[in-house]
Amino acid sequence: MNQPLVSIVTPSFNQAQFLEETIRSVLEQEYPRIEYIICDGGSTDGSADIIRRYADRLAWWCSERDAGQSDAINKGWRRASGQVWAYLNSDDVLLPGAVRAVVAAFQAHPGAGIVHGDWIWIDAAGAEQGAGHGAPTDFRKLLRDGQIQYVAQAASFYRSAIVRQVGLIDPGLHLSMDYDLLLRLARVAAAVYVPQPLARVRLHATAKTSALTERHWQESLAVRARYGGRYLLKPRLGYWRYRTLRALPAPVQAAFRRWRNSPNDWVWLGVNREGK
């Protein structure tokens, strides 16, 4: 009875090829108190049929038109009753033991608003592409350096009372909504880093981060500006580095990425590891 309820929401739209692995990764956590909610945006690829197979193990689910990922997350969180919240996109995967490790960290740090850990990059087929390492962070570091040096969304969990205090996901954001939420949380509560992999984060050509990289950069810069970071030099230099690299021929981009061998470049360049 001392174990807090953990509410996890999966927003999904037409990702049937990945969805079942995501669902199983949550339902097969050994932590006993998980409230799992799936908000599908009216997929036409058979996603609803996959969800129905697990319906008796879900707290709630729907498959209906929505206003996008941010709206779907908020819809789920408004129904959530846990003391710890998270959202797991329908192409990402929780690692075994992740929820138990996160709960232990929240219990050890009563002032924490965020608990986050390491992650593993995977491709569309699930093959590992590299390790992602988080690090201790705070509001100042997140604003200056951005999110990915410290926190991967799939490997982050939030204290629900603090989320309610700062507000849910901004429905006007569609690519950097997790960064915006992290900044709001980090302004009022501590972020605790757990040095172990908590999730597998999938890189593939149809992922929003890869397909809409330019818009993602622009939205991230706009989010920074909200919190006093409009004139920070480091993110501006990062953006123009990205623009310069994207202007180069694809083979040169691929050669640069192979030389760096950094999954962060695979994300921001919007291409897969083979340079396609």
What CA–CA distance (Å, rounded) separates 122 from 197? 13
In a domain, residue 274? The reply is no
What CA–CA distance (Å, rounded) separates 186 from 163? 11
Clarify whether residues 121 and 57 are in a common domain: yes
Clarify whether residues 243 and 191 are in a common domain: no
Q: What is the 3-state secondary structure (H, E, C) of 217-273?
A: HHHHHHHHHHCCCCCCHHHHHHHHHHHHHHHCCHHHHHHHHHHHCCHHHHHHHCCCC
What CA–CA distance (Å, rounded) separates 203 from 10? 17
Beta bridge partners of 11: 39
In a domain, residue 230? The reply is yes
Clarify whether residues 241 and 193 are in a common domain: no
Clarify whether residues 63 and 188 are in a common domain: yes
Residue whose pair of structure tokens reads 């058979």 in the numeric block? 46
pLDDT of residue 276: 38
Clarify whether residues 23 and 119 are in a common domain: yes
In a domain, residue 154? The reply is yes
- Considering only CA atoms, which of 209, 212, 254 is closest in space to residue 92? 209
Clarify whether residues 152 and 250 are in a common domain: no
pLDDT of residue 264: 56
In a domain, residue 275? The reply is no
What CA–CA distance (Å, rounded) separates 97 from 79? 25
| Domain finish residue from 202, 218, 245 | 202
Find the domain containing 215 and state its range: 208-269
| Domain finish residue from 143, 173, 202 | 202
In a domain, residue 276? The reply is no
* Number of Cα atoms under 13 Å in the Cβ half of residue 174: 10
Which residues 6+ apart lie within 8 Å of 95 measured at CB?
25, 120, 197, 198, 199, 200
pLDDT of residue 238: 72
pLDDT of residue 248: 78
Clarify whether residues 26 and 68 are in a common domain: yes
Clarify whether residues 38 and 166 are in a common domain: yes
What CA–CA distance (Å, rounded) separates 108 from 136? 16
Clarify whether residues 83 and 144 are in a common domain: yes
What dihedral angle (degrees, nearest 10) is formed by the CA atoms of 198, 96, 270, 182?
-30
Clarify whether residues 18 and 150 are in a common domain: yes
How many CB atoms lie under 10 A from the CB of residue 73? 26
Amino acid at 11: P
Q: Report yes or no on whether pTM surpasses 0.85.
A: yes
Clarify whether residues 181 and 251 are in a common domain: no
pLDDT less than 50: residues of the chain: 1, 210, 268-269, 271-276
How many CB atoms lie under 10 A from the CB of residue 53? 10
pLDDT of residue 215: 84
Clarify whether residues 91 and 173 are in a common domain: yes
In a domain, residue 1? The reply is no
In a domain, residue 247? The reply is yes
How many CB atoms lie under 10 A from the CB of residue 42? 13
- The CATH number covering residue 141 comes to 3.90.550.10
In a domain, residue 153? The reply is yes
What CA–CA distance (Å, rounded) separates 191 from 34? 22
Domain count, the chain: 2
End-to-end CA distance of the chain: 51
pLDDT of residue 13: 96
| Domain finish residue from 202, 227, 252 | 202
